[in-house]
């Protein structure tokens, strides 16, 4: 049941009516049952898995406070951490690990091979594992009390808007919202509906219509060289941004309908002036999680090492961010490249500020944003490529057989839709540009008369209806 499917709209509409029709004390239970239904609709066996996972972490949280002996508490903590990571590693990385061990074993004659395990990765596991880990770590640190109500706790891990592809929600942000009764609030419903519609527009009109060239090129990259690769180099970023931020808006909008605010994932990333800042604007629920639970503890623990600790911490953090995306060396390289860039920025910060101070501020801002954007475009080649050799081919053939023509490469089947997607992105970019400058166009729009606002909503609905393409899945569902 994808967010952009008819059945999800039906599910959401019916749930909304039921949710506000029942007494508020039953509302969390309704949301949990709805979430389990949502999960069961994807795969019924997933309900048992996620419930067991919830039970494990629920009792761990309670146990960490109940156990008074420090040693036992530490043992329980590490047991739970290893178990959570172990479950994730088993489902997501076991075949990758076996594959690489087999490569090494292959160097020695007549070594037995580790068999490939035919396992299905539970949907959303990367997201709820990190949420559970964050919860346990915070309790172990003493910065949060465990949630005693199992319904609320299970809802934290299984809440359907964020179950499939995040955001990676923090327990200290989620639970306080459930402490007081959630009453019907027309502002929540309107804001949720608006956000959902906006996300659907980004996903369906922009993301989906830009998907074809990206999928086609990465499907068989060796068939292309020159301009098609250069076009995809830039289009892939817009595609991914609109796909994922569209998904996130729909998730946030869905949650908001029920009076729950989830953490956002994006904060105008294309206006980042360096790679470090970029990661504070892109998938920030994940990057801030990694910052709080990997980078910060690491540099605190190894502060005696000085700058070295920071550099190792950066690489470790981005290695985790990279490999979190999937069991492939391409994601490792993706993470390492971010690590290299941020380390470079870390070491050259003073020098760069010195140079920048001699140049016009606008030029520096523009150039910094451009370089950051182009760097991300290049690293995204590793995100989309099936393997390292495909990525290497992509980058080394960007300017081979270069023939500057927009069409005729067999990449864009629906030219009108493709053009509309780029034009719509331009509008999105302009809105974000003004937001970045402090001009809130959304607030301006919301202050217009009803006829203008509703016309705006209908314009989006008509565009969604008219320019929707058949591609419907979300890129980040596979993680």
Around Cβ 453, how many Cβ atoms within 10 Å? 15
In the complex, minimum distance from the CB of residue 181 to other proteins, in angstroms, rounded to a whole number: 15
Q: How far apart are CA 71 and CA 56, in angstroms?
A: 20
Considering the complex, state which of residue 234 and residue 466 has its C-beta at the smaller distance from other proteins: 466
Extract the tokens encoding 427.
């509008």
Q: How many CA atoms lie within 13 A of 178 on its CB side?
A: 26
Q: How far apart are CA 32 and CA 14, in angstroms?
A: 15
Considering the complex, state which of residue 347 and residue 458 has its C-beta at the smaller distance from other proteins: 458
How many residues are given for the chain?
479
> Hunting for tokens 């090494």 — which residue is that?
104
Which residues ranging from 450 to 479 are in contact with other proteins (CB under 8 A)? 454, 457-458, 465-466
- What does 323-353 look like in DSSP terms, one character per residue? HHT-SSHHHHHHHHHHHHHHHHHHHHHHHHH
* Region of 183-191, 236-244, 354-362, 390-398 interacting with other proteins (CB under 8 A): 183-191
* Region of 182-190, 234-242, 321-329, 433-441 interacting with other proteins (CB under 8 A): 182-190
Residue 231 near residue 213 (C-beta atoms within 8 A): yes
Return the DSSP state at 438.
Answer: T
Q: Is 445 in the site for other proteins (CB under 8 A)?
A: no
In the complex, minimum distance from the CB of residue 184 to other proteins, in angstroms, rounded to a whole number: 5
Q: Is 186 in the site for other proteins (CB under 8 A)?
A: yes
Residue 422 near residue 241 (C-beta atoms within 8 A): no
Count H helices and E strands in the chain, helices first: 21, 0
> Three-state DSSP class for 437?
coil
Number of residues that bind other proteins (CB under 8 A): 10
Around Cβ 321, how many Cβ atoms within 10 Å? 22
Considering the complex, state which of residue 19 and residue 227 has its C-beta at the smaller distance from other proteins: 19
Rounding to the nearest 10 degrees, give the CA dihedral for residues 371, 377, 383, 389: -100
Considering the complex, state which of residue 190 and residue 368 has its C-beta at the smaller distance from other proteins: 190
In the complex, minimum distance from the CB of residue 6 to other proteins, in angstroms, rounded to a whole number: 5
Residue 125 near residue 87 (C-beta atoms within 8 A): yes
Considering the complex, state which of residue 234 and residue 413 has its C-beta at the smaller distance from other proteins: 413
Considering the complex, state which of residue 187 and residue 437 has its C-beta at the smaller distance from other proteins: 187
Which residues ranging from 384 to 443 are in contact with other proteins (CB under 8 A)? none
Considering the complex, state which of residue 257 and residue 381 has its C-beta at the smaller distance from other proteins: 257
Considering the complex, state which of residue 92 and residue 256 has its C-beta at the smaller distance from other proteins: 256
Which residues ranging from 9 to 68 are in contact with other proteins (CB under 8 A)? 20
In the complex, minimum distance from the CB of residue 3 to other proteins, in angstroms, rounded to a whole number: 15
Around Cβ 281, how many Cβ atoms within 10 Å? 17
Q: Is 449 in the site for other proteins (CB under 8 A)?
A: no
Considering the complex, state which of residue 48 and residue 462 has its C-beta at the smaller distance from other proteins: 462
In the complex, minimum distance from the CB of residue 454 to other proteins, in angstroms, rounded to a whole number: 6
Element (H, E) at 310: helix 307-324
Considering the complex, state which of residue 434 and residue 465 has its C-beta at the smaller distance from other proteins: 465
In the complex, minimum distance from the CB of residue 412 to other proteins, in angstroms, rounded to a whole number: 18
Q: What is the CA radius of gyration of the chain?
A: 24
The contacts of residue 409 (CB under 8 Å, 6+ apart) are 224, 227, 228, 231
In the complex, minimum distance from the CB of residue 75 to other proteins, in angstroms, rounded to a whole number: 51
In the complex, minimum distance from the CB of residue 450 to other proteins, in angstroms, rounded to a whole number: 9
In the complex, minimum distance from the CB of residue 254 to other proteins, in angstroms, rounded to a whole number: 16
Question: Of 189, 309, 316, 336, which lies in the binding site for other proteins, with binding defined by CB under 8 A?
Answer: 189
Extract the tokens encoding 473.
């899945």
In the complex, minimum distance from the CB of residue 225 to other proteins, in angstroms, rounded to a whole number: 25
Contacts with other proteins, residue ranges (CB under 8 A): 6, 20, 184, 186, 189, 454, 457-458, 465-466
């Amino acid at each position: 049941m994808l967010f952009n499917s008819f059945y999800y709209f039906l599910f959401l509409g019916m749930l909304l009516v039921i949710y506000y029709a029942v007494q508020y004390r039953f509302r969390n239970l309704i949301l949990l049952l709805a979430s389990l239904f949502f999960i069961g609709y994807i795969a019924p066996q997933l309900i048992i898995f996620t419930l067991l996972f919830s039970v494990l972490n629920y009792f761990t949280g309670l146990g960490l406070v109940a156990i008074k002996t420090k040693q036992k508490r530490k043992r329980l903590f590490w047991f739970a951490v290893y178990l959570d990571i172990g479950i994730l590693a088993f489902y997501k990385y076991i075949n990758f690990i076996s594959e690489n061990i087999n490569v090494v074993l292959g160097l020695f004659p007549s070594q037995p091979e580790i068999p490939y395990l035919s396992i299905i990765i539970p949907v959303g596991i990367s997201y709820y594992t990190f949420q559970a880990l964050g919860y346990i770590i915070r309790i172990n640190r003493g910065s949060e009390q465990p949630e005693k109500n199992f319904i609320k706790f299970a809802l934290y891990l299984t809440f359907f808007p964020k179950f499939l592809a995040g955001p990676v929600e923090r327990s200290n942000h989620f639970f306080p919202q459930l402490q007081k009764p959630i009453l019907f609030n027309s502002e929540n419903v309107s804001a949720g509906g608006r956000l959902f519609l906006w996300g659907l527009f980004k996903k369906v009109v922009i993301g989906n219509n830009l998907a074809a060239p990206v999928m086609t090129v990465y499907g068989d990259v060796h068939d292309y060289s020159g301009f098609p690769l250069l076009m995809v180099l830039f289009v892939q970023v817009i595609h991914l941004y609109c796909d994922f931020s569209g998904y996130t808006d729909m998730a946030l909008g869905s949650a908001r309908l029920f009076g729950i605010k989830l953490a956002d994932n994006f904060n105008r990333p294309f206006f980042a002036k360096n790679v470090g800042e970029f990661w504070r604007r892109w998938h920030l629920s994940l990057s801030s999680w990694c910052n709080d639970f990997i980078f910060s503890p690491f540099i605190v623990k190894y502060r005696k090492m000085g700058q070295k600790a920071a550099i190792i911490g950066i690489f470790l953090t981005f290695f985790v961010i990279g490999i979190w995306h999937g069991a492939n060396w391409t994601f490792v390289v993706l993470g390492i490249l971010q690590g290299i860039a941020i380390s470079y920025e870390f070491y050259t910060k003073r020098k760069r500020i010195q140079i920048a101070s001699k140049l016009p501020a606008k030029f520096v801002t523009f150039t910094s944003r451009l370089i950051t954007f182009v760097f991300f475009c290049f690293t995204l080649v590793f995100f989309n490529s099936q393997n390292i050799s495909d990525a290497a081919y992509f980058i080394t053939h960007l300017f081979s057989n270069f023939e500057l023509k927009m069409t005729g490469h067999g990449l864009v089947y629906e030219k009108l839709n493709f053009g509309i997607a780029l034009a719509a992105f331009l509008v999105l970019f302009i809105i974000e540009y003004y937001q970045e400058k402090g001009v809130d166009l959304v607030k301006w729009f919301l202050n217009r008369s009803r006829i203008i606002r509703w016309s705006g909503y209908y314009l989006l609905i008509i565009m969604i209806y008219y320019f929707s393409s058949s591609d419907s899945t979300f890129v980040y569902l596979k993680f």
